[in-house]
Structure 1
Amino acid sequence: MQHHPRRAAIAAGILLTAAVGTTIPASASASAQAEASRQTPATPLVVNARWGGHCSYDRIVIDVRGTMPPVTVKPVRELRYDGTGAKVPLAGKHFLEIRLSPAAAHNEAGRSVYQGPKLLKIHLPKLKGLALTGDFEGTVTFGAAFHTKPTYKTFKLHSPERFVVDISHTNRCR
């Protein structure tokens, strides 16, 4: 009789795994999955937007609960509310549209989870206004207003999930 310690260890691991799997009641597994789904929503939820001024850039931060959805940022000629098409009343000559999809700013019951500004005039070197322009058909959209053409970069931050737009300007701290 030959001894094969590696095969014996693999076989023991398989048997142990099978035994552990059969001892966990299905209800415990289902409750663990339900708990996980309460903590991480199926659809990412946009819960806040904030802004700040820094020496050489203005910053927009969008807070998301859940997994960060794909985000697009693009210049547009004007800002319009999703769904109605009404013009957004923000003064500016240049605008950025920030679109998160799939995402929502409301929960499954239809109540808003978004705590940030809906329409706000801002007095920073570049950023002059910010608006929530849509929470419609699985897409959340923001509009940002500027008097001059913005130069910007975007990135994502994690734990908690955030999407950031930095709009550069000349250094005002020197």
Structure 2
Amino acid sequence: MRHLPSSRRRKIVALATGALLTAGIGLAAPASAAATATRTTQIPLVVNARWGGHCTFDRIVVDIEGSVPEVTVSPVSELVYDGSGKPVPLAGKYFLEIRMHPAAGHTDDGQNVYQGPRLQKIYLSKLKGLALTGDFEGYVTIGAAFDTRPAYGVTVLHAPERIVVDISHPNTC
């Protein structure tokens, strides 16, 4: 007997189950097919992080596929990579951590979907760097670096889904 791909096997099991149930005969589907069929929630995917400079603020935008996860933006004394705890090599004196949960930067089968910067120097009025610092156990974390203490606000926008962090600064226009 040749090996069938799991998606094809699930389709065959579903068709056979439907036919047997129609005939009044029960059949237990494999656990993997049952688990797939009952999964109704999809973990939001973090697909990009981008930035822009404006006259009175710098902006970080995190693009989400699916619903926007819970997000916390917090000042931290240093940026470290989740899991390893190693320092993130971004120059700066002040840092913000943008933490999203539940979220992932990869699919269930391990395919990377995050297309943003992993480690990026930036030359805006306030924002000096951005890094993906974690995609680990349902949390995605992005760190931002600044030379001076950032004053910031966080907004969630829809259609398309995204998280916006605005960092104010004196007018440069």
TM-score (norm 1): 0.76
Q: CA deviation digits over 1:114-170, x for unaligned, max 9?
A: 011000000000000000000000000000000000000010100110000000000
Give the superposed CA RMSD.
1.8
Identity %: 66
Cα distance, 1:105 vs. partner?
0.1
Q: 1:120 to 1:41 in 2, by over 3 A?
A: farther
Mapped to 1, the partners of 2:81 and 2:41 lie a distance apart of: 25
Q: CA deviation digits over 1:34-61, x for unaligned, max 9?
A: 9xx8xx9700000000000000000000
State how 1:70-85 maps to structure 2 within 5 Å: 70-85=70-85
* SS in structure 1 of the partner of residue 75 of structure 2: strand
Amino acid at match of 1:142: I
Structure 2 residue 49 is matched with structure 1 residue 49: yes
* SS in structure 2 of the partner of residue 75 of structure 1: strand
Mapped to 2, the partners of 1:154 and 1:43 lie a distance apart of: 21
Counterpart position of 1:101: 101
Maintained 8 Å contact 1:41/1:66 = no
Structure showing greater radius of gyration is: 1
Q: Unmatched 5+ residue regions in structure 1?
A: 1-25, 28-33
Counterpart position of 1:21: none
Counterpart position of 1:137: 137
Aligned residue-pair number: 138
Counterpart position of 1:160: 160
* SS in structure 2 of the partner of residue 165 of structure 1: strand
Mapped to 2, the partners of 1:89 and 1:161 lie a distance apart of: 29
Amino acid at match of 1:169: H
Mapped to 1, the partners of 2:41 and 2:81 lie a distance apart of: 25
Runs of 4+ in 1 over 6 A off after TM superposition: none
Cα distance, 1:111 vs. partner?
1.1
